Amino acid sequence: MTRLRYLDTNTYYRQRFGRKVYKASLSLATTCPNRDGTCGTGGCIFCSEGGSGEFSSREDSIEESLKKAIGQVRKKAGPEAGFVAYYQSFSNTYVSADVLDDALTIAEDHPDVVQVAVATRPDCLPGDIMEVLASHAARIPLMVELGLQTANDTTGKIINRGFDVECFEDAVARLKDIGCETTAHVIFGLPGETIDDMMGSVAKASICEGVKFTCLYIPRGTVIEKMWREGKVEVLGMEEYFDIVEKALEILPKGTVVFRMTGDCPKKILLAPEWTMNKRMVINYINRRFGV
C-alpha cells in the first residue's frame, strides 16, 4: 500500500480504530431546505436529483440497508474490518429529532459499526437535533459532514447554496461543543473562483478535523449543465485540479484528515470532466504524485 504525504482515510481509520474500516452508505427519507422552498428551490446548481448520495438506496429500511451495505463488502473486507454507518444523501438532520435518534441508534447498535457519519447542512442543526447528536456522540464516535463548498459568499449565492460562511462557522463551533467531529466539503473550480478564493475555502474548512475535496462536476439535468453548455463554466483538467489540491495540502494544519481527494459522480449522469470517469487512473495518479 502506498504511503501518502497527507493523512488519508485508511491511515486515519487504522490509527483511530486499529483496523481497516469501510463506509456503509445509508439514506434517510429526507430532502433539503434548499429544495423544498424553506430557503430555496432546486438545490445547489450542481446538485442532481439524487443529491449527494447517488450511490445509496432508499428502498429498504435502515436495518436492511445497513445489513446489505456491510454484506456487500464483507468478503473483501474480512471478518476483522469495521464500518462507518454513513447517512449520506441530502440533509440528514433535516428530519424530526425522533427520526434522527432512531436512525443513529440503529447504526450504533450494530456490532460492526465503529463510527457514525451524518452529512448535512450547517443551517439544519436546531436545538432538538443538537440534543440528539450530543447524546449519541457520548456513546460512539460521531462525525458530522458539512457542505461548505466555498468560503466566498458571493460564489455561495451563484451556486444557490442558501447559507453564508458565518452559519458554517457557528455550526462547527456548536458541534465541537457537544463532542462531534466535523468534516467540510470543498469544491475546486466553482464559477468565477480564483486560486486565492479556493485556498480561502481550504483555510476556512481547516477549522474541521477533516476535509473532502472534489472538482466541479457537470451532472446531467442540473443548472450547472446549462451554464456549461452556454460556455459560462469550464471544468478543470486532471493535472490542473491536482495542482490546486497540492496547494491546498500545503496550507492544511498537520493532522487534518483528507477523507477525499476527489469525489465520484455516477457515470450515467456525468457529462464532464471525463477524466474523473477513470477511477483507477485517478487513484494511480494520486499515489504517484502524493506518495512518499
The angle at the Cα of 101, spanning 98 to 107, to the nearest 5 degrees, equals 145
The answer on pLDDT for 240 being more than 90 is yes
CA-based angle 232:242:87, to the nearest 5?
85
Looking at residue 1, its pLDDT comes to: 66
pLDDT at 55: 44
Name the class of domain 7-290.
Answer: alpha beta
Q: Helix (H, G, I), strand (E, B), or coil: what is residue 132? A: helix
Which residues sit opposite 211 in a β-bridge? 184, 258
Q: Contact 153/210 with Cβ under 8 angstroms?
A: no
pLDDT higher than threshold 70 for residue 173:
yes
- Percent of the chain past pLDDT 90, that is, above it, reads 83
* Domain locations along the chain: 7-290
What rounded mean pLDDT belongs to the chain? Answer: 93
What's the confidence (pLDDT) of residue 56? 47
Which residue(s) pair with 24 in the sheet?
A: 85
260-289 residue pLDDT tens? 999 888 999 999 999 999 999 999 999 999
- Among residues 239, 233, 243, 153, the alpha carbon closest in space to that of 195 is found at 243
Tens digit of each residue's pLDDT (9 = 90 or more) over 44-90: 888 876 554 444 455 679 999 999 999 998 989 999 999 999 999 87
Residues 246-261: what's their mean pLDDT? 97
Average pLDDT over residues 93-105: 97
Q: What is the pLDDT of residues 185-237, one digit of tens each?
A: 999 999 999 999 999 999 999 999 999 999 999 999 999 999 999 999 999 99
Indicate the range of 35-49, 134-148, 181-195 predicted with least confidence. 35-49
